[in-house]
Structure 1
Amino acid sequence: MVVGAGLAGVRSVEALRAHGFGGAITLIGEEPHRPYDRPPLSKAVLLGEIDSTVVDSDLGALAVDHRPGVAAKGLRAGVLETTEGELAYDALVIATGASPIRLRGEGPQHVLRTIDDALGLRALLRQGRRVAVVGAGWIGAEVATAARRAGCEVTVVEAAECPLAAALGPVGAHTAPWYERAGIDLRTGAMVASVDLGGLTLVDGSTVEADVVVTGVGVRPSVDWLAGSGIELDDGVVTDEHLRTALPGVVAVGDCAAWWSRRYGRRLRVEHWDTALNSPEVAAATLLGGPGEGAVYDPVPYFWSEQFGHMVQYAGHHAGARLVMRGDPVGTRWSACWVTDGGTLAAVLAVNLPRDLMQGRRLIEGGQHLDVDRLADPAVALRDCTAV
């Protein structure tokens, strides 16, 4: 049984078949669509370049019983409770993803999580429309990019002191000029009190007039249906490094899984495409491999964003690491590295520098010690910054 028919769900089905499982597989999903990719929703779909992001997977060839429009309601050992009744299972994959956080208020607010969200929002982005985007994170920046390209008047309201503060800390401040150059009114340090008819009311009493309000302030793991199941929940479904949950025969993958990382010595939950793509391989091996050490999920987290004409890529996890800048962030090509106390690379951010991202990711995977002086010199390739 696979619960959640997004990318993580369909990849779980593929991985189970690839590992030789020939038994029955049921794939249920709350949305009425075939499985599809989410990253293009805030990029190519919102920009009007494509209308569909259906995953290239032959459900018929996979011999899977796909049941769209069916939601999970509860779980107990061996039984999944759904909106269509109870379903028995021998093993189960939790792939229910995450749901957007909404703000208080009586006014209409749009979020961007599903293909229907993206197509509905795209229809509203028209020349001269006033669009207020709440949140200058990854999604907020991409929505603002699309709205501006459509000719909208865009205001972005961010509670933190700079864009991408939650993801990048102070480094996010280097992206603030991008908003100004794009003709966007960026308001940082501004908290929203409510979404109202005709716009926003901020905590300081000021207002932002808008025809369209888009909320991009983060997501919560879609795990409420697991309450009382015996599965530990803590900012997602708690798993070990093999993606096993506390309930025998149940694993978790994708946005909802909070797994233990050997590499970083902490629990991680990463809400990005790379996790949905790759975690199912380990989950399938765990379900089918029996007792023992088994496959370990310990990736270098990776994600990317396209905003205001910049390709922004990030790999790793930088909490507690020391920042080393490479290049001048006033320019269009620069990167930032975070180095651990032990002298290894914890994370890398690359702006229009895919080579730095690729080489940095390999350094993180390899755990080589670095020469920080060379690392700070953008003329030196990252691969050549290892300590002698």
Structure 2
Amino acid sequence: MSEQTRDRGEAAQDGAAGGDRARRVVIAGAGMAGVQTAVALREQGFRGGVTLIGAEPHQPYDRPPLSKAVLLGKAEGSAFDVDFESLDIELRLGCEVLGVRLADHELDTENGPVPYDALVLATGAEPIRLPDTEGVPGVHLLRTLDDAERLRPILAEQHDIVVVGAGWIGAEFATAAREAGCAVTVVEAADRPLAGALPEEVAAPMTGWYAESGAELRVNARVERVEPGAVVLDDGTRVPAGAIVVGIGARPATAWLAGSGIELGDHGEVLADEHLRTSAPDVYAVGDCASFPSGRYEARLLVHHWDNALQGPRTVAANIAGEALVAYDPVPYFWSEQFGRFVQYVGHHAAADATVWRGDPDSAAWSVCWLRAGRLVALLAVGRPRDLAQGRRLIEAGTPMDRELLADASRPLKSAVATSPS
């Protein structure tokens, strides 16, 4: 971001200080990040207008239950428990955003332009589709409430299911499908599950979870084409499929910003600064659609997880309504429930120089710790929530660890603090 742009943003921020009653904040996106931004603005004393715009017609809702309770018919929905009317938050639902005109301070929507004093981009991410499958009968995604509602009767009827992709969402859907009694085949192009998220030695123990649950996992297998009632793999194998669920990743939902003048990154994400401001004055970005620089990890992070969409809005709201700028540099966190296991991850392991295991990965509970220069930077916990809670605090504090003590799974993780930096 240029110094000129940064100066413009700081000048605009100075004008926002104190929650000016004449200001109007427009939030594009009514998922977790958008809703929490609107709520946080009110909690932090902002008294100007707040308009929340969502493409879906439904009352804003939380997404994690879609692959669990909603999908299995254990819940009808997951609407946020927010009284928008009492908070004086204007909802515009079923309204797609189309573009933004920065010079005019106007957001273009399918229902006409919406003027703003401050604009928050919170449009999230959208699932990546298999090529040439859009609109093909029997091929499904799982991102929205409507997606879950379409898939629920398929599971109830116990169709043969093919899941394409053994990432987090693929594993969670396969778990739900097996719980519903469906025959499940998971097709993964890489040589292991979670290949894009975890190192090979950490993801390897998870391979056996599929067979334990009764699901078949096929690795090194690419989808060649989809036929009625089947998926054809690149080796010619034809896998029967009453339904196909695609979970091969997501990309920031920012195509509508092309040509707007707002700077985007290599993955299509909005490039935000440490205060979650974009390259455009009075425009902020938060959640799955934005990356931000982390001083803690000395890297730009693009985090597609629920906790980021919960935490980031507080920073955005503070920087719109407050007197001074607040930086955003969280310790990322997420969780996944799959095949009877509760998997949690905290931190960012990309630059780690050492790995320490706690417990046997063939057991029901184990953890992996990543260190950099002797300090804990990330942790994966399977069935060890106490490790996760203690590890998160140690990562936040940058505490030096004793590797030998850390490897002793019988000890509380917090007791493995080094007496002197290693």
Q: Normalised by the size of structure 2, how large is the TM-score?
A: 0.89
Q: CA deviation at 1:289?
A: 3.3
- 1:268-310 residue CA offsets vs partner (Å, 9 max, x unmatched): 11111101111001011112336x6x21111111110111110
Match of 1:219 in 2: 250
> Aligned to 2:402, which of 371, 375, 378?
371
1:90 equivalenced with 2:117 (yes/no): yes
Give the whole-Å Cα distance in 2 for the aligned partners of 1:333 and 1:127: 34
> Aligned to 1:174, which of 205, 212, 216?
205
1:120 equivalenced with 2:175 (yes/no): no
Identity %: 55
Contact 1:129/1:153, CA 8 A, preserved across alignment: yes
Give the whole-Å Cα distance in 2 for the aligned partners of 1:329 and 1:307: 15
What is the root-mean-square deviation of aligned Cα atoms in Å?
A: 1.2
Give the whole-Å Cα distance in 2 for the aligned partners of 1:323 and 1:161: 21
Give the whole-Å Cα distance in 2 for the aligned partners of 1:97 and 1:261: 20
Match of 2:228 in 1: 197
Contact 1:325/1:336, CA 8 A, preserved across alignment: yes
Give the whole-Å Cα distance in 1 for the aligned partners of 2:76 and 2:371: 41
Amino acid at match of 2:39: E
Match of 1:187 in 2: 218
Match of 1:262 in 2: 295
1:273 equivalenced with 2:306 (yes/no): yes
Aligned to 1:162, the other structure's residue is in SS state coil
Give the whole-Å Cα distance in 1 for the aligned partners of 2:150 and 2:141: 10
Deviating more after overlay: 250-259 vs 101-110: 101-110
Q: CA deviation at 1:372?
A: 0.9
Q: CA deviation at 1:126?
A: 3.3
Aligned to 1:165, the other structure's residue is in SS state coil
Amino acid at match of 1:317: H
Give the whole-Å Cα distance in 2 for the aligned partners of 1:297 and 1:243: 7
Deviating more after overlay: 317-326 vs 101-110: 101-110
Deviating more after overlay: 353-362 vs 192-201: 192-201
Contact 2:294/2:301, CA 8 A, preserved across alignment: yes
Contact 2:221/2:234, CA 8 A, preserved across alignment: yes
Aligned to 1:125, the other structure's residue is in SS state helix
> Aligned to 2:106, which of 67, 79, 99?
79
Give the whole-Å Cα distance in 1 for the aligned partners of 2:225 and 2:275: 42
1:17 equivalenced with 2:42 (yes/no): yes
Give the whole-Å Cα distance in 1 for the aligned partners of 2:57 and 2:95: 8
Match of 1:100 in 2: 127
Q: How many residues end up aligned between the 2 structures?
A: 385
Q: CA deviation at 1:127?
A: 5.2
Give the whole-Å Cα distance in 2 for the aligned partners of 1:127 and 1:150: 9
Give the whole-Å Cα distance in 2 for the aligned partners of 1:195 and 1:86: 41
Q: Normalised by the size of structure 1, how large is the TM-score?
A: 0.97
Contact 1:251/1:287, CA 8 A, preserved across alignment: no
> Aligned to 1:140, which of 135, 149, 170?
170
Deviating more after overlay: 199-208 vs 209-218: 199-208
Give the whole-Å Cα distance in 1 for the aligned partners of 2:383 and 2:417: 23
Give the whole-Å Cα distance in 2 for the aligned partners of 1:166 and 1:16: 35
Contact 2:119/2:284, CA 8 A, preserved across alignment: yes
Aligned to 1:312, the other structure's residue is in SS state strand
Match of 2:319 in 1: 286
Contact 2:56/2:93, CA 8 A, preserved across alignment: yes
Unaligned runs of 5+ in 2: 1-25
Amino acid at match of 2:56: E
1:50 equivalenced with 2:81 (yes/no): no
Contact 1:243/1:253, CA 8 A, preserved across alignment: yes
Unaligned runs of 5+ in 1: none
Give the whole-Å Cα distance in 2 for the aligned partners of 1:150 and 1:335: 29
Q: CA deviation at 1:163?
A: 0.9
Give the whole-Å Cα distance in 1 for the aligned partners of 2:158 and 2:106: 52
Give the whole-Å Cα distance in 1 for the aligned partners of 2:65 and 2:158: 24
